[in-house]
Amino acid sequence: MISGVTLLKKEDSYKKNYIRFLKILISLVIFSFIYYIKDCIATNSSISMINFFKLIYQKNITNAFWYMYLYLGIILMIPIIQRMVSNFKKLDLKYFIFFSLVVCGSMPILNYYFPNTIYSSNFDLFLFNVYLGLIFTGYYIENYMKITKSKMIICVFIL
């Protein structure tokens, strides 16, 4: 949600996002390599750059960097998302948030507890996903909601 507040108010250039992407990618590679060397020493394995790049591409070297992979994906999408949200009306945001968080976010839970509720795999809401819903929710809260003490108490209670 904080990413939605901080990244969606403006429209960054593609070049700025490219530079941002490279910085995070370089950080991910450097610090993953440190973890890779540590793991090779711990398991008495040989260090292989081919194996390293294969591991970093196919899975995390360490689970500690899951957020960096997520952030790289967000950075790739931010220019388009910024342009989308700048053209959204308040109702468009509500619609997007509803389908992203309520429908797509609750369906896996509902399907787990009630297997008969599973819908056809041919019905795909590819544009709506929970992560984008959270980013858009942050933007919506920042721009359209007035935060009051009673709303904060309700949020704390829900949390």
| Confidence (pLDDT) at 102 | 85
Which one has a higher pLDDT value, 121 or 70? Answer: 70
Confidence of residue 110 (pLDDT cuts 50, 70, 90): confident
> Which are the contacts of 1, defined by CB distance < 8 A and separation ≥ 6?
134, 135, 137, 138, 141
Tell me the pLDDT tens digit for each residue of 29-62: 999 999 999 988 998 988 889 989 988 888 878 8
The answer to whether residue 93 scores a pLDDT higher than 90 is yes
The answer to whether residue 103 scores a pLDDT higher than 90 is no
The answer to whether residue 159 scores a pLDDT higher than 80 is no
Confidence of residue 12 (pLDDT cuts 50, 70, 90): confident
pTM for the full predicted model: 0.73
| Pairwise CA distance, residues 6 & 139, whole Å | 8
